[in-house]
Structure 1
């Protein structure tokens, strides 16, 4: 029984237990997906688009298509949303993806959809930054932890109104390009972003992205997808949210969609 003693309480220490055992559907055969990747890359490019800096764009994918997102000019992070193309009520679920895989996605990890669907939407198959791993401060890449930057939180921090965030960019893109609503924007996959938690206060931190011109990642669609990507107005995330972000640290991102040819 907890008493009223002023002595410092001593807590029993336990070894950590991984809360979620990975179900078979969260595990893929690397050789199978390496072959899928190579077969699709040997097909044709069916769409190429540039997401200009500080904006967002949308595109669609058929199940089996491969998407390559490239840092095409300078270091830049991106915030991504995913929907089932045939039913936008089914969308990316960052929290369950985090529980089934980890806080930061690695090659052969999958992106999962919300309840009641809970199925893989896409599988990460290649990452030129895979060797970054976990750095000395616990930082890693491609997190499913942080939410998109938004103007509502900006006002909480600064007291100022603003329109210029991943949330506002994603909203504008899906409203104008797809006839959707702000409420359809959801928590994101932060690509090329280096993040972690401080060991002393457990606060979410960012570091300047290590991504450089030519770096890219690839994922394969498991279902027909509608995707939105924001080229974050924080650029390489070297500036604290609330401070002025120089335009020169913001860059576009390139998107290419590959489709397996009928001859493969």
Structure 2
């Protein structure tokens, strides 16, 4: 390590600046979210078996509920515009806008050039968790998804039932695309129920046992027509760093329809208004 300059302490003392102040974002109304949830009616439920993934369409104005049903389990979620797979969830920008973990009132934003809300979290039964003594929180947008390429780098193996491959197979089955054409559409995930943070010393990404229990759920209001894919992670509740010993459980995806009166005045958000000229 190079020697520190004489003004090292002064350089480190620079004031941090929040890049994207959240008060500049349009925020959902808490009263409206409560009224919406009060009139929800289940329309379709799909069970995602352990160590696999499934896809489900969620019409705009409906709610996707992801539920823990048997035992502690985390899920890796991908979202696409149901009519245009090129518009997909943008975890990096969502993280830059809200922080490392999401909860009620946060929105899941789509990729460039669209950059609009795809879904709004209107309820989170784990909102009570906050951040613990290790700096960990629930529902992160920092992990990328377990994948066969990193596994091959680390172990030399051929691991096909990781979340990345699960999502590839689920998207291929839902769209009719062959796996090699479906794979480029799979993207960094919203880690539902996962409890994660960064170590204090080296700032390395870590997981710990999820606090989720049967009955816990998170509700996502679909701002546009969505295709959602959820993988029931082979790491179970992520209490250990081994898929061989992990106890895995199914997750439920439920589409709920609101009372039509609750949507009075609501419109799906338009794509971002930037003119895309890029100064040319």
Q: TM-score, normalised by structure 1?
A: 0.91
Measured in 1, the distance between the counterparts of 2:86 and 2:66 equals 25
User: Paired residue for 1:52, among 49, 53, 61?
Assistant: 49
**What residue ranges of structure 2 are gaps of 5+ in the alignment?**
263-280
Does 2:117 align with 1:120? Answer: yes
> Aligned with 1:11: secondary structure?
helix
Note if contact 1:52-1:253 (Cα within 8 Å) is conserved in structure 2: yes
- Give the TM-score, by structure 2 length: 0.86
Cross-structure match for 2:20: 20
The offset of 1:252, in angstroms, is 0.2
Alignment check: 8 A CA contact 2:55 2:229 kept: yes
Residue of structure 2 in register with 1:239 after alignment: 240
Q: CA deviation at 1:14?
A: 2.5
- In structure 2, the CA distance between the partners of 1:254 and 1:14, relative to structure 1 (3 Å rule), is same
- Give the match for residue 30 of structure 2: 30
Deviations 1:132-163 (A, max 9, x none): 10000100000011001011111111122221
Whether 1:109 aligns to 2:106 is yes
1:258 to 240, 247, 256: 256
Question: Which position in structure 2 is the counterpart of 1:223?
Answer: 224
Structural RMSD (CA): 1.8
Give 4+ residue runs of structure 1 displaced > 3 Å after superposition: 4-9, 23-26, 261-264
Contact 1:26 / 1:109 at 8 angstroms: preserved in 2?
A: no
> In the alignment, which residue of structure 2 is the partner of 1:204?
205
The 8 Å contact of residues 58 and 227 in structure 1, kept in 2 or not, is answered as: yes
Q: For residues 133 and 243 of structure 2, what CA distance do their matches in structure 1 show?
A: 28
Name the CA shift for 1:5/1:194 in 2 (closer, same or farther; >3 Å).
closer
CA distance in structure 1 between the partners assigned to 2:31 and 2:6 by the alignment: 54
User: Within 1, Cα distance between the matches of 2:4 and 2:203?
Assistant: 26
1:19 aligned counterpart, secondary structure: coil
Partners of 1:195 and 1:174 lie apart in 2 by 26
The 5 Å alignment of 1:29-178 reads 29-39=29-39, 41=40, 44-178=41-175
Aligned length: 255
User: In structure 2, do the counterparts of structure 1 residues 7 and 189 end up closer, same or farther at CA, with 3 Å as the change threshold?
Assistant: closer
- CA separation in 1, counterparts of 2:76 and 2:14? 36
Q: Could you tell me how far apart the structure 1 residues matched to 2:25 and 2:61 are?
A: 17
Q: 1:244 to 1:108 in 2, by over 3 A?
A: closer
Which whole-Å deviations, capped at 9, do the CAs of 1:192-242 have from their partners, x for residues lacking one? 0000001110100100111111111111000110000000011111221xx
Measure how far apart 1:62 and its partner are: 1.0
Distance in 2 (CA, whole Å) between partners of 1:28 and 1:229 is 25
Q: Quick one: structure 1 residues 179 and 8, their matched pair in 2 at CA, closer, same or farther if it must change by over 3 Å?
A: farther
> Could you say what secondary structure the match of 1:18 adopts?
coil
